[in-house]
């Protein structure tokens, strides 16, 4: 590690160090089959719910799962579940947004 940092400094690549570290973490997680996930809800989620979701993801991926939970009052209800590049948005705010877009699209055709 010491030699790596020295090499980065010698080659004046310190501005890329954060990118290098994040890339290493991604490669490590991929090799060890570790998935990173996030659940966003309006209010805090019970630990047993998080554990049930974790168990489902472990069953599907056959690996380890790291979960973060986050609260966001803007959702108004429901949840957003993200793991890897997959995102499931079941929030009330998103549903209202979709209905609004459909309403606007239909009214444009009428006019």
Considering the domain architecture, whether residues 26 and 43 belong to the same structural domain is answered as no
Number of domains in the chain: 2
Considering the domain architecture, whether residues 93 and 105 belong to the same structural domain is answered as yes
pLDDT tens-digit profile, the chain (111 residues):
899 889 989 999 989 989 999 999 999 988 998 888 899 999 998 889 888 988 888 888 888 888 899 998 888 888 999 988 889 888 888 888 889 898 888 887 665
pTM for this prediction: 0.68
Considering the domain architecture, whether residues 50 and 16 belong to the same structural domain is answered as no
CA gap 82, 67 in Å, rounded: 9
Three-state secondary-structure class, residue 77: coil
Considering the domain architecture, whether residues 48 and 26 belong to the same structural domain is answered as no
Question: How many Cβ atoms are within 10 Å of 79's Cβ, its own excluded?
Answer: 19
Considering the domain architecture, whether residues 23 and 57 belong to the same structural domain is answered as no
Range of the domain at 10: 1-32
């Amino acid at each position: 590690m010491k030699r790596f940092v020295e090499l980065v400094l010698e080659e004046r690549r310190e501005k890329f160090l954060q990118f290098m570290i994040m890339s290493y973490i991604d490669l490590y997680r991929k090799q060890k089959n570790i998935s990173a996930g996030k659940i966003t809800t309006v209010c805090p989620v019970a630990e047993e719910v998080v554990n049930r979701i974790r168990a489902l993801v472990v069953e599907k991926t056959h690996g380890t799962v790291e979960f973060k939970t986050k609260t966001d009052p803007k959702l108004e209800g429901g949840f957003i579940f993200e793991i890897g590049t997959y995102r499931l948005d079941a929030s009330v705010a998103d549903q209202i947004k979709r209905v609004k877009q459909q309403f606007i699209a239909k009214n444009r055709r009428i006019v």
